[in-house]
Structure 1
Amino acid sequence: MRATCVTFEVVRSRFVDRKSVGWPSFVADNVGFEALVVGSSLGAGIDVPLLADLAETTEVHVDGELRVRGLTGDAATDPLVSLAHLYAHAAERGFTLNAGDVVTTGAMCQPFDLKAAGHQVSARFLGQTLSFTL
């Protein structure tokens, strides 16, 4: 693993209620994927204390208002466990991850919906900010 970065996955589903259409339709919609906003590198390799600090300090703001904080406890995903599952899944199928491949490992904060465009979205973490307008 070359770097750890904070990212936003922007989902724009064609479905008003994407949960009601079921996974086959959602997958056929490319899981509603629109864009991946990638921040700068926070560190090289795997840094377990850095990942813990990210989970504890991350806040997402929409138009300057706090929307969500980092997930904790049972609600949190462990990015290293997700990465290990990906490696095992790829190895079982003879697939190789290449240098430079981008891998996302799950949500650090609770996903949320925005009903319209024109919002300023920002993540604040470890004294840094990653922002974009949607």
Structure 2
Amino acid sequence: MALDDQLCFAIYAASRSVTAAYRPLLTELDLTYPQYLVMLLLWEHETRSVKEVGAALHLDYGTVTPLLKRLQQRGLLTRRRRTDDERGVDVVLTDEGRALHERARDVPVGMAEAFGLPAEQRAALRDQLHALVRHMDAYAA
């Protein structure tokens, strides 16, 4: 029952450390880590539904909505009702959001250095963590 022997604590501590390492890189972009994750998703796919954003980031609607509102207030994205289903809302990257992508290109480079692991080890760790998330999601369902 020792704290340092708990896998969950190691994951929690690692998550906090990684988020802290991102902070100075994202401060230059005036983004929080969750906002950066939304922007990563939109830089990959310029339009996503609010539901898809929440699912991709493992966040509920009540958490995603204020996050998207703040990014919209900054002019990085817009939200618009879907034409095929008025209940649905799409999130669309703006020109300003696209321009921010250029400024953010060095973030992954800085984080690769912060991790201090070779690319192969980072990829293997990422794959293990994705597998862990899938397993835990299935367990919790």
TM-score, normalised to structure 2's length? 0.25
Q: As a proportion of its length, which structure holds more strand? A: 1
**Rg (Cα) greater in structure:** 2
